[in-house]
Amino acid sequence: SQQGEEDPQALSIQEGENATMNCSYKTSINNLQWYRQNSGRGLVHLILIRSNEREKHSGRLRVTLDTSKKSSSLLITASRAADTASYFCATDSSSGGSYIPTFGRGTSLIVHP
Amino acid sequence: DAGVTQSPTHLIKTRGQQVTLRCSPKSGHDTVSWYQQALGQGPQFIFQYYEEEERQRGNFPDRFSGHQFPNYSSELNVNALLLGDSALYLCASSLVSGNSYGYTFGSGTRLTVV
């Protein structure tokens, strides 16, 4: 089963516009991460936000976390064609002292030049 | 500094056959995790290896097995392949003392079962 669920499933925008993706999860978390995946390749870690944080920035990325609503959002500002990829949120599942990232189904982002 | 290396990159097997996928972790990492990603889905955790033993396992049948070698590299074996095993298999390495944000992923092996 997948802990996080991203919304929308697919997003198509023009270059220069902002892209917002949302993630909802079911159980309490320690951390939430966002990953990027280009065309069925490996996952690249983008940003991590801890459960006691509400907002975090990294370059053109802005992540928010609302633990009361069990949701997070990823904002990509001034999008570029190179941002075209699938984006996944991952919550940590702790068992036996080991943290295992649990992924949602992802949002497919297409940025048109 | 090499990241995570997976081989082969692509593989086509026939239903009922067996397959072995390989992973070399990032330098300095001692833990290897395997994920299965079906088309249009997110990665699903298969299992994790540390000190040559299976440390945790996801909801996958016994047809899926693995191994970790003294040099921390790992293999994923799948027996009696089904059409539904067609997927991208991702390997991730980390430090056992680290949290989940210490994971580094390889580019994956694309397995097609016909």
What is the reported pLDDT for B96? 72
Distance, in Å, from the CA atom of A75 to the CA atom of A32, rounded to the nearest integer, reads 15
- Segment A5-24 shows an average pLDDT of 94
The predicted structure's pLDDT at residue A101: 86
Distance in angstroms (rounded) separating the CA atoms of residues B64 and A33: 27
pLDDT bracket for residue A94 (50, 70, 90): low
Lowest average pLDDT, out of A29-33, A48-52, B6-10, B65-69, goes to A29-33
The residues, ordered by sequence, that sit 6+ positions from A111 with a Cβ below 8 Å of its Cβ are A13, A14, A15, A17, A19, A79, A80, A81, A82, A83, A84
Least Cα separation, residue B79 to chain A (angstroms): 23
B100 part of contact set with chain A, CB < 8 Å: yes
Instruction: Return the SS3 of B102.
Output: helix
Q: Is A78 or A39 the better-scoring residue by pLDDT?
A: A78
Asked if the model's pLDDT at residue A72 lies above 80, the reply is yes
In chain A, which residues have their Cβ closer than 8 Å to the Cβ of B106? Answer: 42
Does A1 score more than 50 pLDDT? Answer: no
> Which chain A residues touch B45 with a CB distance below 8 Å?
100-102
* Structural domains in chain B, sorted by start: 5-113 (2.60.40.10)
Among A19-23, A39-43, A69-73, B36-40, the range scoring the smallest mean pLDDT is: A39-43
Q: List, in order of start, the domains of chain A with CATH numbers.
A: 5-112 (2.60.40.10)
Fill in the amino acid letter for B34.
Answer: W
Of A48, A95, A105, the CB nearest to B101: A48
Mean pLDDT, range A60-79, rounded to an integer: 96
What is the pLDDT tens value at each position of chain B, 114 positions in all?
569 999 999 999 999 999 999 999 999 999 999 999 999 899 999 999 999 999 999 999 999 999 999 999 999 999 999 999 999 999 999 887 666 567 899 999 999 999
Nearest to residue B51, comparing CAs of A98, A90, A100, A92?
Answer: A98
